[in-house]
Every structure is written in C-alpha cells, then in structure tokens.
C-alpha cells in the first residue's frame, strides 16, 4: 500500500510530508498491522522486556507528540527529540532534502523543537506505553552548552528510561567539539555529578558522529567506562563522502542519513564493540531498512538498532516487516534469541 502512496507523498516538500505523517499518527490515520510477538526477537532493555530491538531514532518525533502511536506501529522502543532547553525554530527552510536514487536524506534542521518545558509537560500528561528515550542538546544561542545539557537532565530524568546526550549533529555550530577527549571528559563528568545530586538512576546514552578519527574510538571508549555511561549510539548523520551519490541534492549542506551511511556505521559499531566488549550497550543507526540490515548491525555488536530514513522510503509498517525478517533470519541461522547474535561477526 505504501509503495503506491509514496510517489504522491514524494511530490510534497519533505518537511511538509513529515508534518503530515506526525498528524496522521496523532489521529491514528496510519495503516497499522498487528504487533508481532515472538520469543526469538524479544529483547532485554536494562531489565525491561521489549518486543523487539527495533527503535525509532530521534528526529522523527521531535516534539514528543506521537511516541505512543509509534509503539503501536511495532517499534520496540522510541527516542524523541532532539530537545533543547528553550524553544527554537532551527535553520531557515528549505532544510530537508530527499535523495531518492540513494535512499537517503540530507537535513540541516538545527534542533527545531518546542523546548523542554512544553515537551516535559506533554510527556508528563501522556505517560509512555513503552521504553522511551529523550535526546537532548544545546540551544543555538546558548553561551553555555554544558549548562543546557544539565537543564534538560534535570527536566527529564524522571520522565523517560534513558537520556541521549547528542554531541554529533553537524547542524549546530561546534557541537562536535565534544568528541575531543578533554571536552567530552568535562561533559560526562558534570552529567555524572548532576545525576548524583538528583539521586537519579536515569540511563545515559551518548550519540556520536560517524566521522570521527581512529584515535577517538579509544578515547571515547575510555571515557564511557570512566563515567559509567550505559549506551553509545552509533551513529548520527555524516557530512562526508558525497562523491558517489547520484541525486542532484547531494551537495546540500547538512547531515546525510540512510543507505549511504550503512557500511560506515557498521564498521564503527564493530570497532567500538571490540574495545568495549559489551560493557557499554550499542544502539546501531544508519541505513536500517530491512531485517538483513538490522541483523548486520547486531552481528557487528549492536544490542539494539534504530531507524528514521528507512521509514521514509519503506513506510509505516517497516518495524513489523523487519521483525518478520529477523525471525526468519534467526530461524535459518539456528539462533534461539536475537541476543545470541550480538557481536558474532567479531
């Protein structure tokens, strides 16, 4: 059904299409099949059982408007945001571009969101029906990025299962400087200290760039362990490697997501898994649009996977379809549960 609709949807501006998708989910207009329950893909999320390891990545439900309908679409967990302390418009439009031939998107949205007060109030009023993550970041106009992260930590630590510290968007000036060892050390230190002050057990995830240098892998891994970070998300969009793309939008400024990121993400997942040895859980992101692409991330070391661009191209039943494909893959490989496949490629 979606394949027939896609040609019509793709005639619309990408950001308008996205806004319509959010509205349709709010009013339950989206075509949904039943959620698949199968023991082979059931996943343990830090003590909570979820139906599958497939999550929707931050960027889709920026303002935490449709997280509960997304569980109904078959996602095992949902991450909303990126949320900043204050409401902000983001970058000027147009700021989202489809690259159809490449099954990719380029965006330079710039953390457009309703702000932490409005989003916190919404989540408090509508408790999540599943595992919820909130992705947080600093305002563009801030003079103190560290304090912005702390504001969001204070606001959200009781409202979700995990908080993602986003240091990797290519669309916020100097944000990726937090990949430098000294700056990341300072950030993770104040997060840990604030958690102690709040007496909070909130899980902390760190979302990194796929464009890091080799030396960053050991430095980041060392700090993840030092400050007892629970999850690393690999990875955000890339602002590199456009030469092999086909679509005329390939040189638009912004972060590239989707299939062109898949191999790069998988390599990075594999490298971090070898260093971390499952002491920090990995969520794999980048090019997930099928059971096979999800499985590749898992065998490289990811415990969970996320997608966003894949749903743009494959439609709202993508989580169910991936679940079905994963069940068949596991059966053919003689694997009883998806957890047994984590890192077996290493």
Which active-site residues does the annotation give?
Answer: 169
Provide the 10 A C-beta neighbour count for residue 286: 32
Tokens of 91: 């970058």
DSSP 12: S
* 120: helix, strand or coil: helix
End-to-end CA distance of the chain: 39
Nearest CA to 232 out of 243, 224, 244 is that of 224
What are φ and ψ of residue 272, in 5° steps? Answer: -65, -40
Q: Which two tokens stand for residue 298?
A: 């898992």
DSSP letter (8 states) at residue 145: H
Contact 156, 120 (CB under 8 A): yes
The rounded distance, in Å, linking the Cα atoms of 120 and 87 is 12
CA quadruple 3, 7, 8, 9: dihedral sign: positive
Q: How far is CA 295 from CA 18, 239, 305, in A?
A: 27, 25, 9
Can you count the helices (H) and strands (E) in the chain? 11, 13
What region does 19 belong to: left with phi over 0, alpha with psi -120 to 50, or beta?
alpha
Report yes or no: 258 and 313 within 8 Å, Cβ to Cβ.
yes
Which residues neighbour 147 within 8 Å (Cβ) at sequence distance 6 or greater? none
Computed on alpha carbons and rounded to an integer, the radius of gyration of the chain in Å comes to: 19
- DSSP string across 218-281: HHHHHHHHHTT--EEEE---BS---TT--SGGGGSSSEEEEGGGHHHHHHHHHHHHHHHTTSSE
Structure tokens at 33: 């099949």
List the structure tokens of 63. Answer: 């303002």
């Amino acid at each position: 059904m979606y394949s027939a609709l896609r040609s019509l949807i793709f005639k619309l501006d990408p950001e308008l299409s996205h806004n319509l998708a959010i509205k349709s989910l709010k009013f339950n207009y989206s075509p949904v099949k039943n959620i698949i329950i199968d023991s082979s893909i059931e996943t343990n999320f830090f003590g909570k059982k979820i139906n599958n390891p497939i999550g929707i990545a931050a960027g889709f439900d920026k303002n935490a408007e449709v997280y509960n309908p997304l569980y109904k679409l078959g996602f095992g967990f949902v991450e909303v945001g990126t949320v900043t302390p204050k409401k902000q418009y983001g970058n000027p439009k147009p700021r989202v571009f489809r690259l159809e031939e490449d099954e990719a998107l380029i965006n330079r949205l710039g953390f457009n969101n309703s702000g932490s007060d409005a989003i916190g109030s919404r989540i408090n009023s509508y408790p999540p029906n599943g595992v919820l993550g909130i992705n947080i970041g600093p305002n563009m106009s801030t003079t103190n990025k560290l304090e912005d992260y702390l504001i969001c930590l204070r606001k959200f630590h009781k409202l979700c299962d995990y908080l993602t510290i986003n240091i990797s968007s290519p669309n916020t000036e100097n944000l990726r400087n937090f990949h430098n060892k000294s700056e990341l050390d300072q950030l993770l230190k104040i997060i840990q200290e604030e958690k102690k002050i709040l007496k909070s057990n909130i899980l902390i995830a760190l979302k990194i760039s796929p464009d890091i240098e080799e030396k960053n892998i050991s430095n980041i891994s060392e700090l993840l362990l030092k400050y007892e970070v629970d999850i690393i998300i690999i990875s955000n969009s890339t602002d590199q490697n456009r030469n092999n793309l086909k679509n005329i939008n390939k040189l638009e400024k912004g972060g590239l997501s989707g299939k062109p990121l898949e191999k790069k993400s998988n390599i990075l997942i594999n490298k971090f898994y070898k260093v971390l040895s499952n002491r920090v859980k990995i969520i794999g992101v980048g090019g997930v649009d099928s059971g096979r692409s999800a499985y590749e991330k898992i065998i490289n070391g990811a415990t969970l996977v996320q997608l966003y661009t894949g749903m743009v191209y494959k439609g709202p039943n993508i989580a169910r379809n991936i679940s079905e494909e994963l069940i068949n893959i596991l059966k053919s490989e003689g694997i009883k549960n998806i957890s047994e496949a984590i890192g077996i490629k290493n």
